[in-house]
Amino acid sequence: MTRESFHEHIQELEQDVVGMGQMVITAINRSIEALKAQDLAEAGRIVSGDELINRKRWEIEEQCISLLATQWPVATDLREMIAILNIVTELERMGDYAEGIAKITLLHGNEPLVKPLIDIPIMAQKATSMLGRSLEAFVKRDAKTAEAICGEDDEVDRLHDQVYHDLLTGMIKDPKTITLATYLIWTAHNIERIADRVTNICERVVFLVTGKMPQVSVSKY
C-alpha cells in the first residue's frame, strides 16, 4: 500500500466514523420519540437495530488493526488511528444507551407517563447536537471547537439535575409513581452519560490535533 492510498484509507475510515455517529444520533432520537409516543414496536426495532451499530464498530476496529499492523503509522497518523479506535468505542456505548432507553420504553409499557416529557427531549437534542458537532470537529481537526463543546456538558448536567429533582419530588408526593418515575430517571441518566461520552470524543480530537491529553474534567457524575 502506498502512503497515498494509506491516507485515502484513513479518510474513508473517518467517513465511516461519521456514518456510525449518524447511526447513533438516529438511534438516540428514535428512542426518545418511541418513549414519548410509548411506541413499543418501534422500541423493539431500536433494540434489535443496535446490532448494526455494534457491527459497524467491529468493522472499523478491524480495519484499524490491519492498518496498524501493516502500515506502522507514526505521529499524526498514529494518533488518528488511536483516536478512531477510541471514538468508535464511545459511539458504540452511546448506541447502547439508546438501546437502553428503548428497553426502558418496553418496561414502561402502556402505563401513562408520570409527567409530560419536556426536559428529557431537550437533553437528548443537546446531546445529539454536541455529538454531531464533535464529529465535525474531528473531521476538520478543530481542537478549539472540540474544547468548546466540552463546556456544553454543564447544561446537560443541569437539565439532568432538574429532571431528577422534579421526579424525586413527584415520588415523595405520590409513592405509587416510584417505579415509573425511576424509569424516567434512568432515561435522563442515559442521556447525561451520552453527553459525557461526547466530551471523551472531544478530548480525543484535541489529542489528535495537539498530541496532548487535555485535562477536561467536566462531569459532575
User: Which parts of this chain interact with another protein (CB under 8 A)?
Assistant: 1-5, 65-66, 69-72
CA–CA dist 160, 126 (Å, integer): 12
Our CB check for another protein shows the closer of 72 and 221 to be 72
CB of residue 4 to another protein, shortest distance in Å = 7
Closest CA to 54 of 20, 22, 10: 20
CB of residue 150 to another protein, shortest distance in Å = 34
CB of residue 57 to another protein, shortest distance in Å = 17
Tell me the longest C-alpha to C-alpha distance in the chain.
Answer: 68
CB of residue 54 to another protein, shortest distance in Å = 20
Residues 20/91, Cβ–Cβ less than 8 Å? yes
CB of residue 59 to another protein, shortest distance in Å = 14
Our CB check for another protein shows the closer of 65 and 148 to be 65
Cα-based distances in Å from 83 to 147, 157, 197, 218: 15, 25, 13, 20
Residues 25/92, Cβ–Cβ less than 8 Å? no
Our CB check for another protein shows the closer of 58 and 169 to be 58
Our CB check for another protein shows the closer of 61 and 147 to be 61
Our CB check for another protein shows the closer of 4 and 217 to be 4
Q: What is the DSSP string of 99-125?
A: HHHHHHHHHHTTSPPSS--SHHHHHHH
Enter the C-alpha cell of residue 48: 434489535
CB of residue 1 to another protein, shortest distance in Å = 6
Residues 126/162, Cβ–Cβ less than 8 Å? no
CA–CA dist 165, 171 (Å, integer): 10
Our CB check for another protein shows the closer of 5 and 169 to be 5
CA–CA dist 122, 59 (Å, integer): 32
